[in-house]
A and B are shown apart, each in its own frame.
Chain A
Amino acid sequence: MAVVFERPKSLTEVTTHYCPGCTHGIIHRLVAEVMDELDIAGNTIGIAPVGCSVFAYNYFTCDMVQAAHGRAPAIATGLKRALPDRIVFSYQGDGDLASIGTAEIVHAAHRGENITVIFVNNAIYGMTGGQMAPTSLIGQKTTTSPFGRQEAQTGKPIRMSEMLATLDSTALISRASVHNAANVIKTKKLIKQAFMAQQKGLGFSMVEILSTCPTNWGLSPIEALKWLEENLIPYYPLKDFKVPEEVK
């Protein structure tokens, strides 16, 4: 009997604190699988955000740095400039990257920092109890948009991948999803391409991954996958905005 699939080595044996069905678990595993396949865990430093995945520092076996809310791209910049031959990645949620951290992500991207950003977009603030995110949809009810998000009050949700793709200094920008197995496989491929782009020194790479938050969406894990497919994908199209030839 040969093993077809098991826990990647770059994940620790710790059971995560994530809610049942939270796609952070899938995405953590994909990053770890890529680190295994490229054999880079010993050369990698990851940066954990503020948000549900703040405890990512307990789940990866590579060196980890915990960042202030939104500042991960700046911390990544400091690390990568100091250790240019190491792989540096940040792992951020939609509050971290698209709210408080907009200056940091835009400028790391615009400077063309040779880092990889994993952007987990579940259109809500999970850790703090379900407040509205910049990526929450019009009409979406959250604890700070109790009557549903209204465009007149808070504008339309922000599409970070489209916005960052307009910056010339970015090397790889793509949006993926983890709502079914086929897309999980595609997402892993994009994450691998992003890390390879960094290995080849091609510049700034980011993979935005549409994700679920069953608890704060008020849905079961399986219903949440469906909600993602039916509601998030139409607004946040899955697309390879920029993928360098060298990693295709």
Chain B
Amino acid sequence: MITRVTIYEDICKGCGLCTTACPKKILVMGNHMNSKGYHPVTIIDQNLCISCAMCARMCPDCAIKVEK
């Protein structure tokens, strides 16, 4: 599996803005907690990612890296 989207879990504040931007709807808020007490976002299926980076553009914290 190619990792197209990397979530930096301990930077993510669980705001959910990225989930509104993904055209493939593969971003979902997780149930687990990061070291700061936030629930970071998770990727359902890397294979469906088209590397559009809309998620990273909506992220206020640079918690997402996108590769192609």
Tell me, yes or no, whether A and B come into direct contact in the complex with CB atoms closer than 8 A. yes
Chain A interface residue count, CB cutoff 8 Å, equals 30
Q: Answer yes or no: A6 CB below 8 A from chain B CBs.
A: yes
Chain B interface residue count, CB cutoff 8 Å, equals 26
Cross-chain pair count, CB within 8 angstroms? 78
Residues of A within 8 A of B66 (CB): 3-6
Q: Answer yes or no: A185 CB below 8 A from chain B CBs.
A: yes
- Assess A26 versus B67: contact at CB under 8 Å? Given A4-B51, A5-B53, A15-B11: no
Are A220 and B16 in contact, CB atoms less than 8 angstroms apart? Answer: yes
- Assess A20 versus B14: contact at CB under 8 Å? Given A5-B64, A26-B58, A185-B57: yes
Are A180 and B21 in contact, CB atoms less than 8 angstroms apart? Answer: yes
Are B60 and A26 in contact, CB atoms less than 8 angstroms apart? Answer: yes
Q: Which of A8, A20, A214, A225 contacts B20 (CB 8 A)?
A: A225
Residues of A within 8 A of B15 (CB): 20-21, 214, 221-222
Are B67 and A2 in contact, CB atoms less than 8 angstroms apart? Answer: yes
Interface residues of B (CB under 8 A from A): 2, 11, 13-17, 19-21, 38, 51, 53-54, 56-62, 64-68
A6-B62, A25-B60 provided; 10 other pairs, C-beta below 8 A? A1-B2, A4-B56, A8-B62, A15-B11, A21-B15, A23-B60, A25-B62, A26-B58, A181-B54, A222-B17
